[in-house]
Amino acid sequence: MRTSAYYLLALVAISAARPQYSPPSRSETSKCTNYNDCSPTGSRRHGYKHNRPEHGPYTAGGGYLQPTSVPTYGAAPPSGYQQLASASPYGGGGGGASGSPTAGGGSGDPSATSIAGPAQSSAAPLTTSGNATIGSGKVALPAGCESKNGIGIGWLPDSEDGSSLTGIISALGGVKPCWAGYYAQITGSTWDGSQLTSKVAEVKAGGAPYPIFVASVQPYIDFSAVPAMASQITTVMNELTSQGLTVWLRFAHEMNWYDSAAGGDVYKGTPQEFSTAWGAVSDAVKGNPNVLMFWSPNYGTASQLQSEGWYPSSGDIDVIGIDVYSEDATKTFANAYGGFCNGFGNIPFVIGETGSDSASADKTNWLEQLTSTEAKTNCPNYLGFSWFEYNKDGTDFRVATGGNAEAQSVLGTSSS
């Protein structure tokens, strides 16, 4: 079941206007650390520049899933994945007419009626003709994957520098993550996706059910050239799913950062050209039910992202996220993510990447914030996060490998 994107127009009225100003110069370690500080033309953003094609952008306590502790939605999930029997945290199961993120017969409260599933297949989707649609019946997390307080945990492993997925799993007592994320760049008119397909064996090493494969595909070409590449992207996604994997396609993530001079101008084109590219890729992969579209900007409010055109006006959006990092122990989940996720309250929210390059105590605090019960209270649509387990040119984000043990102290080392 899919719904419209432009219901978000209603959010403009309730989002406080922010002054526009030119950003001051940033050091490479400057990151968007507070939702309220992340304006579209200034303030703090994480600005690590990608510098190796096999790696991601140069950006950057115990408890595991019980049988029904992670929300899943809609029709029966793939084999090995679990579906929640209780109510969805997203509000109604369709039929709403207000255009609100929580419309559709529910208030957005966890006790509200659930998203339409097999028993509610006749419920009308939330929709506004002509704009992007939002998947709301397909998100499922792997049964038994790593979690705390019902919040799924995933990793972006730096396989080339020793922080492999298998090493992370071993450090945490053998419990598999919910997500495993990898990066790939399109740099010309042909693309074979080998940066992604080469990671299949690593993702499958622990056996089924496998982690969800988050494919962060970065178009280092003009956005206007992407539609002609859509079939090649689809071929790679199909190759991944043919190996028994569920794939979340995190296409052109941080599109509102990498298009800027501060972000290296590695993305080329206007927001409208991005939207067209998104729609073309979405349409190309939609025939594969095991590929979901994951929209993951770097910063901004719902109204800002929409008014600037970065929220796609075509194609499908199944999962949303935003990349915010922490720099000190004063950061909380609410001030980093609360405004964004609540602005998209009907869509599953997963943090595509996050981390901390600060002291051990700050990393511990950030892990505790990400897995806190307050996080679910602030963002009922929050499903989990992926940690950026990289050591990039001396900037150490790692919490589970390389002698770092913050993850073990917060997340535990065995299933409970």
Q: Virtual CA dihedral for 314, 317, 323, 329, nearest 10 degrees?
A: 140
23 part of a folded domain:
no
Is 368 a known active-site residue?
Answer: no
For 47-60, write each residue's pLDDT tens digit.
Answer: 333 333 333 332 22
- What average pLDDT does the segment 355-365 reach? 91
For 322-341, write each residue's pLDDT tens digit.
Answer: 999 998 888 899 988 988 98
Give the active site residue among 353, 368, 389, 406: 353
Task: Provide the pLDDT for residue 91.
Answer: 26
Task: Provide the pLDDT for residue 105.
Answer: 27
Give the active site residue among 254, 273, 389, 406: 254
118 part of a folded domain:
no
Is 239 a known active-site residue?
Answer: no
Task: Provide the pLDDT for residue 250.
Answer: 98
Task: Provide the pLDDT for residue 152.
Answer: 94
137 pLDDT band, cuts 50/70/90, is low
Nearest to 230 by CA among 191, 256, 266, 196: 191
Name the domain count of the chain.
Answer: 1
What CATH number corresponds to the domain at position 363?
A: 3.20.20.80
Biggest alpha carbon–alpha carbon distance for the chain? 55
Task: Provide the pLDDT for residue 138.
Answer: 67
Q: How many CB atoms within 10 Å of residue 404? A: 18
320 part of a folded domain:
yes
Question: What is the extent of the structural domain holding 173?
Answer: 2-12+28-80+126-411
117 part of a folded domain:
no
Of the spans 22-36, 56-70, 337-351, which averages the highest pLDDT?
A: 337-351
pTM for the predicted model, two decimal places: 0.73
50 part of a folded domain:
yes
Per-residue pLDDT at 354 exceeds 60: yes
295 part of a folded domain:
yes
401 part of a folded domain:
yes
393 part of a folded domain:
yes
For 254-311, write each residue's pLDDT tens digit.
Answer: 999 999 888 899 999 999 999 999 999 999 999 999 999 999 999 877 888 888 999 9
